[in-house]
Chains A and B, each alone.
Chain A
């Protein structure tokens, strides 16, 4: 069976991993309170979604 002859150096591994990027989450402004929130999600700040009060945020 074919096997690697040499251990991959730290440099090689690290160079390969330079393309491992994290993408920032897409965020939109809440139409009610203008906070940043996930699109298509209830706003965690004011608890509204599409003009409707969905969750009670006063408890926090």
Chain B
């Protein structure tokens, strides 16, 4: 049984999978955003978080632990100096995913995984708070729709779905 076996296999052997994730995590920290399949992107998130946690700890042991995963020394250095400092006040959830739709050729659903931009996140927080405040009077949805302009109502239709997913 598969009980309590977390993670995905991705039709690969253990060594293949390990090598692939090592390469992916190195690329992610090198370029800050990578395009891959949705499944791989989702599977990469916990590993990325662990790497940043190691970087925040910042001692020699954690640096060696990170080097055991990240394939390039220069990228580990970047992680422990540059990337780490951005997330001092954040605890987890350092990456964000955006779906791109099916890939041409094999139809695999693609996604962009990127290290979060904290400035944009702060902006979004304000936005969601506003939305949460505006959301409760949904009983008078028709009245709200009347009061708002036409494009606003369209946004109303699409936005709640988006928030459900995250």
A contact set with B: CB distance below 8 Å: 28-31, 34, 38-42, 44, 49-52, 54-55
8 Å CB contact of A28 from B98, B101, B120, B161: B161
Q: Enumerate B82-130 residues with CB–CB distance to A below 8 Å.
A: 98-101, 112, 120, 124, 127
Q: Which residues of B contact A39 (CB under 8 A)?
A: 158, 161-162
> What separation, in Å, do the CA atoms of A28 and B59 have in the docked complex?
49
> What separation, in Å, do the CA atoms of A31 and B162 have in the docked complex?
11
Kindly state whether residue B142 has any CB partner on chain A within 8 Å: no
Kindly state whether residue B149 has any CB partner on chain A within 8 Å: no
Number of interface residues of B (CB under 8 A): 17
B contact set with A: CB distance below 8 Å: 98-101, 112, 120, 124, 127, 151, 154-155, 157-159, 161-162, 165
Given contacts A41-B99, A42-B99, A44-B101, contact A54 B112 (CB under 8 A): yes
A26 — nearest CB in chain B belongs to which residue? Answer: B161
**Is B165 a contact partner of A34 (Cβ separation < 8 A)?**
no
* Most chain B beta-carbon neighbours within 10 Å: one of A30, A34, A54: A54
Known: A41-B98, A54-B112; 15 extra A-B contacts, CB below 8 A, are: A28-B161, A29-B154, A30-B158, A31-B155, A34-B151, A40-B162, A41-B99, A41-B101, A42-B99, A42-B112, A44-B101, A49-B98, A51-B124, A51-B127, A52-B120
> What separation, in Å, do the CA atoms of A44 and B102 have in the docked complex?
11
Given contacts A42-B98, A52-B120, A55-B100, contact A28 B127 (CB under 8 A): no
> What separation, in Å, do the CA atoms of A38 and B98 have in the docked complex?
12
Q: Which residues of A contact B124 (CB under 8 A)?
A: 50-52
